[in-house]
Structure 1
Amino acid sequence: MSSHQANRFKYHLKHCYQSKNLNLTKTLHAYILKTSHFLSTSLNTSLILSYSSSLHHHNNTTTISTTHFNILTNLFKSIDPSNPLPFNTIASHFSHHGHPSLALHTLSFMHFSGVVLDSYAICSSLTAAAAIRSVGLGKMVHAHVEKSGWLSSVYVGSALIDFYAKTSAFWDARRAFDEMPVRNVVCANALFLGFVEGRMWEDGLSLVRRMRGLGMECDRFTMCGLLKVCAGLAKIELGRQVHGSLIRRIDAFGGDVFLRTSLIDMYGRCGVVEKARHVFDHTGVGDGGEEKRDVILWTSMLGVCGRNGHFEDVIQLFKEMLMEGTKPDKIVFLAVISACSYTGNVNQGLQYFESMVCDFGMDPDQEHYSCVVDLLCRAGELERALDLISRMPFKMGTSDNSTRNGGTSNTSLWGALLNACVDTGNVELGKLAAERALEADPRNVGIYVLWSNLCASVGMWDEIEKLRDLIRERGMMKDVGCSWLEVSG
């Protein structure tokens, strides 16, 4: 096959990949075979990627027919095993496009075909194993790493630590870090950020102290994580010390938006809203005094005000944001509609909801509808809330969002309506809301409690007894709340 023909086929296969056109991919493949054109490595790779683009995947599970799988396997066999590059490209593509099982199949094929597994292939396999949360597969890769001598690679070591952290195998992650012959701040950050994501605040703090003893200089990722630790532990004094360290290293960190955002969030979660606002006000100001704050900073500050009950400030900040010319996103609208709900500004909240659609062309998510329903319920507009739920553009209980969250979004909608019915004594509408909420989440004890409270308010004692029996039968119990605070550091 001439280079011109090969490039022509690659061009068409690229179109197949982008359009996810399986039939056209099969037609091109058949034509290539029928005309006895030689399948080069690059053309083989293009065919595999085109076939993979039409695969369906959900929650990292790929649906593939036996025929489809056999075609991919035969294409793999046509690639020269002495060159790992095309295999690595394919495995990486599968791993980063929702097909981790196929990525692992590719790497298994490489191993049994004698293709050398380099650091790139090993890291791709660990990424894929983490995506399907398979600790067993990851440990098999770890064993191969130790046998093949790749443990001395900082790149591979960091991938191992990241894999164990993402699968919540923190003891293994710590051991992998301790056993690394060569360690740097990247490896330490992989473990540290794993602790942070797992909310293991004290372990993360201990690791940062240990990093100093190992002579590792904290970088921006360490500092961002450390601020999250301070927020998680409500250690405001430590947070101030970290802030002071950032000021002393202003040349390195002064213009980092993510660090500034983490600072604002830390102060906000520790309840020091004034300090959070001070950081916000002194961020993103240009040499000529013009404002350059992006939507991430605004969202962070809006969140701080909302979490601390400064709802009037949320609305005011939103107006300032629009005046500054920053385009709001969906999270911003969620914050400002929620603030209107708490302040009782029903009409203003509905105006923002309409503006989101009409002025900014955004499609509201279930969270936005839930927020507006809460807004109407707090104002006693129960019929309007029910009407809004019935007019939602997606079917309740079948949206991807509700499926992923186990019906949580639907429960919050009906739960808000049920709560308002408890306040107003509306039994008929409350019963409907309770039934719909329990359809979405049958094991939500809070809904049973709300419905029980409504029944008690009107003397429906037989119904309450039935609910208690049902809760006992299903082995459910109400969560016990608790509070904690730091005393003397």
Structure 2
Amino acid sequence: MPRISVQYLLSSLSGLLDQYSSSKILGVSSALLAQLTKIGFLHKNLPVSHLYSVFFAAGDVTPWNALIAALSRQGFPVIAIQAFSVMHRIALPLESYSLCSSLSAASSPQANALNLGKQIHAYALKSGEMSSIFLGGALIDFYSRTDDIQGAHQVFDEIPVRNTVCLNALLNGYVEKKLWMEGLSLFRIFYSLRLDPDDRTISAVLRICAEMSFSRLGMQCHAHLVRRISGVEKDVFLLSSLVEMYGKCGLVGKVHFVFRMFDHAAGEGRRDVVLWTSLLNAYGRNGLFDEVISTFEEMLVEGTEPDEIVMLAVLSACARSGNVMKGLLYLESMVKEYKLAPRHEHYSCVVDLLCRAGELGKAWEFVDEIASEDSGNGGIMFAVSAWGAILSACRDSGNVKIGKLAFQRAIQLDQDNVGMHVELSNLYARVGMWDELAELRNFMVDKGIKKDIGFSRLEIGN
């Protein structure tokens, strides 16, 4: 359906307002626009006058609410905001439903409408709409999505009634900003407010436990899910969160147990690729690289198609286990069999694989080959880690020429990378190039480039 046909339909509906009941025509119009946005026929540059002409005679907010909600959901936040502005301009009452939909549109990166969200917040305070628990949750979600976590917390303090949705919106805001301890502090007040955490709450807390290695709290969340959330064994999203949490806490036995929970619940059902990815990453994070490869092959036997993230986990396992032939075979199958386009992370894993196996020459040939396929711009196709692998191999073999080239490519991507400067200094020290070593260290001091000091944290006690 071309763009002109959409305009013609809207104009025709507008003309029917004079002949038939406006409420019926408006209902059809809003339903039509909702369907057009769903199936992609509504052009983003469709003139606003055509889009709203059929709605101007409406004294009812219902079709407007439906229009704004449909546009916001289907990826047209700018047009949704324009519809909200027109609705306000023609003096239609602004209800909680239209305000919530407009806040969702305003939080979209495409709209970049932070000021509109704050204006809606001010309107809600003055009009008394802050008493709506739905609008309170929408405001918290808006501020969280726009990286204003203080604004989200302010709204949380302002709303008179709080429910689990409101707390989840703020909790997810803390998690996205990696404010782990603040998120845990918020989680602790759930029961003081006589609210029960739901699956979304536990999922956010599990991510905090994974990042902070809070294994005991993670196991308590697991127990809560089993006792209070029905059907957790079939919820791939929750199972993946549990697998990731146990994997980052180093509890590999628990990882396998959670993964097999799906078998007992789903019978012959096929596990989602996300769940397989969580298992592969958990094994790889704990050094079980052979299990990564065997699990990947089990996944293929089950009939689950791999994606780019799965292939990255497998290639990384091949690199660390020294399985050169399988690693190269998997990279080839990624393109030919699974029709996936390798990214710089995949190529970097292959470079690391060859360097760890002592094949520095083949690694450099591989880089040149990819560079030639990429119009000679091979530096962009490889991450800093790939050049670090080559430089590390050069340090072991004493190859200064290739080591310098790898260092130059790496600093084009990250000029202040500490690891690359340290590796080059180690290479100079190995071959006895003391003048160059002193010059490099003086450069690091002048630029303030320092090696990070490692530290560990242990969870002690109950």
Counterpart-to-counterpart distance in 2, 1:137 and 1:456? 59
State the 1:224 CA deviation. 1.4
Match of 1:64 in 2: none
State the 1:341 CA deviation. 0.5
Assess, with a 3 A threshold, how the Cα gap between structure 1 residues 471 and 87 changes in structure 2: closer, same or farther: farther
Match of 2:457 in 1: 484
State the 1:269 CA deviation. 1.1
The alignment of Structure 1 onto Structure 2 pairs a total of residues equal to 441
Match of 2:271 in 1: 293
* Alpha-carbon contact 2:44-2:76 (below 8 Å) kept: no
Give TM-score, length-normalised by structure 1.
0.78
1:126 maps to which of 98, 103, 116: 103
1:415 maps to which of 388, 412, 415: 388
Assess, with a 3 A threshold, how the Cα gap between structure 1 residues 103 and 478 changes in structure 2: closer, same or farther: farther
Match of 2:240 in 1: 261
State the 1:307 CA deviation. 0.5
Assess, with a 3 A threshold, how the Cα gap between structure 1 residues 84 and 323 changes in structure 2: closer, same or farther: same
User: Which stretches in structure 2 are left out of the alignment for 5+ residues?
Assistant: 18-25
Counterpart-to-counterpart distance in 1, 2:441 and 2:236? 52
Secondary structure of residue in 1 paired with 2:415: coil
Counterpart-to-counterpart distance in 2, 1:390 and 1:146? 62
Given the alignment of the two structures, is residue 348 of structure 1 paired with residue 321 of structure 2, yes or no?
no
Deviations 1:73-121 (A, max 9, x none): 5546746444666766675576567765565455445444545444344
Assess, with a 3 A threshold, how the Cα gap between structure 1 residues 52 and 257 changes in structure 2: closer, same or farther: closer
* Alpha-carbon contact 2:2-2:41 (below 8 Å) kept: no
1:216 maps to which of 191, 195, 219: 195
Given the alignment of the two structures, is residue 241 of structure 1 paired with residue 220 of structure 2, yes or no?
yes
Counterpart-to-counterpart distance in 1, 2:310 and 2:9? 52
Deviations 1:25-60 (A, max 9, x none): 5x9969999x9x9699859969x97998467xxxxx
Deviations 1:380-414 (A, max 9, x none): 22232233333335468799xx7xxxx9x532332
Counterpart-to-counterpart distance in 2, 1:104 and 1:475? 47
Assess, with a 3 A threshold, how the Cα gap between structure 1 residues 123 and 291 changes in structure 2: closer, same or farther: closer
Aligned pairs for 1:377-396 within 5 A: 377-392=355-370, 393-394=373-374
Amino acid at match of 1:264: V
Counterpart-to-counterpart distance in 1, 2:156 and 2:194? 15
* Alpha-carbon contact 1:150-1:156 (below 8 Å) kept: yes
Amino acid at match of 2:409: R
Residue range with higher mean Cα deviation, 278-287 or 417-426: 278-287
Counterpart-to-counterpart distance in 2, 1:433 and 1:101? 45
* Alpha-carbon contact 1:134-1:167 (below 8 Å) kept: no
Counterpart-to-counterpart distance in 1, 2:390 and 2:135? 52
Deviations 1:239-259 (A, max 9, x none): 222222222236353422222
* Alpha-carbon contact 1:285-1:292 (below 8 Å) kept: no
* Alpha-carbon contact 2:234-2:265 (below 8 Å) kept: no
Assess, with a 3 A threshold, how the Cα gap between structure 1 residues 361 and 80 changes in structure 2: closer, same or farther: closer
* Alpha-carbon contact 2:72-2:104 (below 8 Å) kept: yes
1:203 maps to which of 162, 167, 182: 182
State the 1:213 CA deviation. 2.1
| Identity rate, percent | 44
State the 1:147 CA deviation. 2.2
Given the alignment of the two structures, is residue 157 of structure 1 paired with residue 136 of structure 2, yes or no?
yes
Secondary structure of residue in 2 paired with 1:282: helix
Aligned pairs for 1:360-379 within 5 A: 360-379=338-357
Aligned pairs for 1:296-307 within 5 A: 296-307=274-285
Match of 1:8 in 2: none
Aligned pairs for 1:74-93 within 5 A: 74-75=49-50, 78=53, 80-81=55-56, 82=58
Assess, with a 3 A threshold, how the Cα gap between structure 1 residues 342 and 410 changes in structure 2: closer, same or farther: closer
State the 1:440 CA deviation. 2.2
Residue range with higher mean Cα deviation, 93-102 or 117-126: 93-102
Given the alignment of the two structures, is residue 458 of structure 1 paired with residue 431 of structure 2, yes or no?
yes
* Alpha-carbon contact 1:285-1:293 (below 8 Å) kept: no
Match of 1:325 in 2: 303
Amino acid at match of 1:12: P
1:72 maps to which of 31, 47, 63: 47
State the 1:301 CA deviation. 0.9
Counterpart-to-counterpart distance in 1, 2:208 and 2:352? 32
User: Which stretches in structure 1 are left out of the alignment for 5+ residues?
Assistant: 1-10, 14-24, 56-70
Secondary structure of residue in 2 paired with 1:283: helix
Counterpart-to-counterpart distance in 1, 2:276 and 2:364? 32
Counterpart-to-counterpart distance in 2, 1:259 and 1:142? 33
Amino acid at match of 1:220: D
2:335 maps to which of 351, 354, 357: 357
Counterpart-to-counterpart distance in 2, 1:172 and 1:398? 44
Secondary structure of residue in 1 paired with 2:423: helix
Residue range with higher mean Cα deviation, 152-161 or 85-94: 85-94
Deviations 1:124-151 (A, max 9, x none): 4433443347655432221122223322
Given the alignment of the two structures, is residue 309 of structure 1 paired with residue 299 of structure 2, yes or no?
no
Give TM-score, length-normalised by structure 2.
0.82
State the 1:321 CA deviation. 1.6
Given the alignment of the two structures, is residue 12 of structure 1 paired with residue 2 of structure 2, yes or no?
yes
